[in-house]
Amino acid sequence: METEKNSEQLKFEGSCYCGACQFICEGKPLFRTLCHCSICTRISGGVAVPFVGFANESLEVTKGLKNLKGFKATERMERFHCKTCSSNVYNQSLLPDRLFRDTSLMNFKRDDQGRIIDLDQLKAGSHMFFSECQQCFADIFKTDGLVKFSTMPGSTVISNGSSK
């Protein structure tokens, strides 16, 4: 049975693949969304990236700060990667009126069976930039029941049946 935790009790641990860079996140995520944009998918090499966002002060790098390398694909976001294993550890929003940090769900700590701990608190509740999802993958997400924003959250919603 799922136990409800108070927001201030929530604490999540994560790291890059090799473990050189580690972080903790405290409190309830600000957002949880699967991004299909061309930048995230090209940088990650994945179908989409399930981002979990936190306030700046709530995502703290606890190990390997000097092992991170930043990359600005746009003026809006700086992406930090582990210099050793190249994993994207976290991203820093550069918008002065919308400061946050996000990280991929896949970076969070797993149990002995490889299952992400506290998955229900971290898993995506929506899709963003679904208009950029490639045709061959769009059908995978058709019946997942999650809202599919065409671009940023709050933009036009793409109905489940008519993704391109």
CB of 101 closer than 8 Å to CB of 56: yes
Binding mask 78-97 for Zn ion (x = CB under 5 A): ----x-xx------------
Interactions with Zn ion, residue window 5-44 (CB under 5 A): 16, 18, 20, 35, 37, 40
Give whichever of 42 and 164 is closer to Zn ion, judged by the CB atom: 42
CA distance 31 to 53: 5
Residue (58 or 102) nearer to Zn ion, CB: 102
Least spacing, CB of residue 6 vs Zn ion, in Å: 31
Which residue number, 15 or 58, has a Cβ lying nearer to Zn ion? Answer: 15
CB-based contact 103:132 (threshold 8 Å): no
Say if residues 125 and 33 touch (Cβ distance below 8 Å): yes
Query: How many residues sit close enough to Zn ion to count as binding (CB under 5 A)?
Result: 9
Helix (H) or strand (E) holding 32: strand 31-35
